[in-house]
Amino acid sequence: MDGSMLELRKMSGGCGAEILGVDLRQLTNSQMETVRQAFSDHGVIFFRDQSLTPEDHIAFARRWGEIVVNKFFTPSENPLIAEVRKEKEQTTNIGGGWHTDHSYDVEPAIGSVLVARNLPEEGGDTLFANMYAAYEALSPGLKKTLETMRAVHSNAHVFGAASAYKSTDVKFRNENMISDAVHPVVITHPMSGRKALYVNPGFTIHFEGWSLQESRPLLDYLFAHAVRPEFTCRFRWSPGSVAFWDNRATWHYAANDYHGHQRLMHRITIAGGPLG
Amino acid sequence: MSQAVLQTDAIAVRPNPSGFGAEITGLDLSKPLPPAALAAVKQAWADHGVVWFPDQPLTHDELEAFTLQIGPFGHDPFIAPMEGRPHILELRREPDEKARNFGAGWHSDWSFQEEPPAATILHSKVTPPIGGDTLYADGVRAYDALSDAMKKMLVGLTAIHTAALPYGSKGLFAQEQASQGDRTMKIIVSEEADKTYPHPLVRTHPITSRKALYVSPVYTLGIEGMTNAESAAILGFLYAHMTKDEFVYRHKWRENMLTMWDNRCTLHYADGGYDGHLRLMHRTTVAGDRPR
């Protein structure tokens, strides 16, 4: 199998692509180049019918960069792999709101490779929104305004001691390891060279130097704009499905619509660098 | 009030505790003001945004003469002036009138003009026993209260102004006329009102050099280069911010009060609440310069 045999199917007009006809355990260099280009072009890529052991999962992730271990998530048996787990009796899920992973880090992760391990019969889809498309659809005036602005991202309200999760049945570790970071509101993507909107409802709390009250209306506008259906796609998981999303170019949202069933995913997160 | 109040040293300027709005007594506005008194009035007007002079019965000639001491008349479109008085608008609402009272939205007068009026002068002839207050919002302190980073962003923006919403060919007054409203004032709706004019969103006052927010929900259409929805996110915040209680002065009228406000750094809003009562005012404007 070589790169020419890959089949790429866009998930929607604005976000994501499925790559078919490839075995992630045996990616040739030319296939890898095709996959890399698809990742760069579409913000999130999906694979079907894979048979990845934890070791295969790690090996694929390492082709993209160093693995980072999320401070707050519970690891699986392998410390490099985090569990995204919801048990039958739990009602709150992890990631049930639009967000970008790790935007609270000074050097946010490139993205995560998520492998389905145990799925509910129905539900548990993941939705993605493309921040290249969201940026490109802004007016020239607002693009110009946003290009000189930076925003503060924090995880205190998500993973900290006073977070909204504390009153739920989801538990995270290391609630004292909270942190903030400041990033440009519009980043130039290090891989694609394209501009992307880099604020997200999960972790962005205000524009740098602006009060919370001043920031709220414009952030809320951007948050509503960025999830226009034209910029989104919805991935339905099946056994063997793998998703690899780009945190610098997409948001994601884990649908919480499968109460009474277990869902277990393995996540590996890949280190990134500073954003400009 | 005695005749001796023509002495300039008898002028008393009593600002509100906030510094926004001041009462001026000790002058007779029916006669030309001595140069020092006129200078003091202009200074108080610039410093406090809105100044009022109680107990000043004035003829039309005297109102015009006082206006011309402040500056040349402005150009007042879309409303028919008084017969034989091209520079005086009569703001009249009859006791049985049902039309929404004139000016019941936050605005700065004629901000859609290339050179909007610096001052508006309003003289009360008949005031209702209840209602009819005018609210003023201080664009200077509202601007000052913003974060430095937001100020910096706003200073680079241009706002698009238009008279279209009230006076345009499809505006509120055109709709009212189509539905046979009972308004006493003669409003002249016009396609001329559909034109737009850009001004800096943050305006620097030519006298005080203070910066002020210069947008209003009545006359500001949007921000140059942005969509309506994007503009609304920014402007909606600014409108709510500018009209917070802490930046607003509610002005109570009495008969024969002359009030003069600075359109370059304030918004105003004509409150209603006086159905069943006549309210009668006369208004002039003073020409201003191009906002910078």
Tens-digit pLDDT profile for residues B136-147: 999 999 999 999
pLDDT value at residue A168 = 79
Mean pLDDT of B262-274: 97
Tell me if B226 and A142 make a contact (CB, 8 A cut-off). yes
Tens-digit pLDDT profile for residues B217-230: 999 999 999 999 99
SS3 B194: helix
pLDDT value at residue B132 = 97
pTM for this prediction: 0.90
Q: Which residue of A218, A219, A220, A223 to mutate against B (max B Cβ within 10 Å)?
A: A218
pLDDT value at residue A161 = 67
Which is higher by pLDDT, A164 or B192?
B192
Q: Which residues of A touch B225 (CB under 8 A)?
A: 139-142, 144
Please say whether the beta carbons of B241 and B267 come within 8 A.
no
Q: How far apart are CA A72 and CA A54, in angstroms?
A: 20
Q: Which residues contact A93 (CB under 8 A, 6 or more apart)?
A: A86, A170, A254, A256, A263
SS3 B129: coil
Q: Is the dihedral of CA B272, B275, B277, B281 positive or negative?
A: positive
Q: Which residues of B touch A211 (CB under 8 A)?
A: 147, 150
pLDDT value at residue A162 = 67
Task: For B225, name the nearest residue in chain A, comparing CA atoms only.
Answer: A141
Mean pLDDT of B3-17: 70
Q: Which residues of A touch B233 (CB under 8 A)?
A: 217-218, 220-221
pLDDT value at residue B87 = 97
Mean pLDDT of A88-110: 91
Q: Which residues contact A205 (CB under 8 A, 6 or more apart)?
A: A152, A153, A154, A157, A212, A215
Closest CA–CA distance from residue A40 to any residue of chain B (Å)? 28
Q: How far apart are CA B64 and CA B57, in angstroms?
A: 13
Percent over 70 (pLDDT), chain B:
97
pLDDT value at residue B4 = 36
Percent over 90 (pLDDT), chain A:
80
Please say whether the beta carbons of B23 and B258 come within 8 A.
no
Closest CA–CA distance from residue A219 to any residue of chain B (Å)? 9
Q: Is B229 on the interface with A (CB under 8 A)?
A: yes
Closest CA–CA distance from residue A181 to any residue of chain B (Å)? 17
Indicate if the pLDDT at residue A176 is higher than 80: no
Mean pLDDT of B95-103: 91
Mean pLDDT of A198-227: 97
Q: How far apart are CA B130 and CA A20, in angstroms?
A: 76
The rounded mean pLDDT for chain A is 92
- Active site members of A: 99, 101, 252, 267
Q: Which residues of A touch B236 (CB under 8 A)?
A: 217
Both tokens assigned to B80: 């028919």
SS3 A29: helix
Q: Which residues contact B4 (CB under 8 A, 6 or more apart)?
A: B10
Q: Is A149 on the interface with B (CB under 8 A)?
A: yes
Backbone angles phi, psi at A133, to 5 degrees: -65, -40
Indicate if the pLDDT at residue A173 is higher than 70: no
Tell me if B225 and A144 make a contact (CB, 8 A cut-off). yes
Tell me if A217 and B237 make a contact (CB, 8 A cut-off). yes
pLDDT value at residue B178 = 87
pLDDT value at residue A65 = 95
Indicate if the pLDDT at residue A160 is higher than 90: no
Q: Is B148 on the interface with A (CB under 8 A)?
A: yes
Confidence of residue A74 (pLDDT cuts 50, 70, 90): confident
Lowest mean pLDDT among A28-32, A117-121, A172-176, A262-266: A172-176
The rounded mean pLDDT for chain B is 94
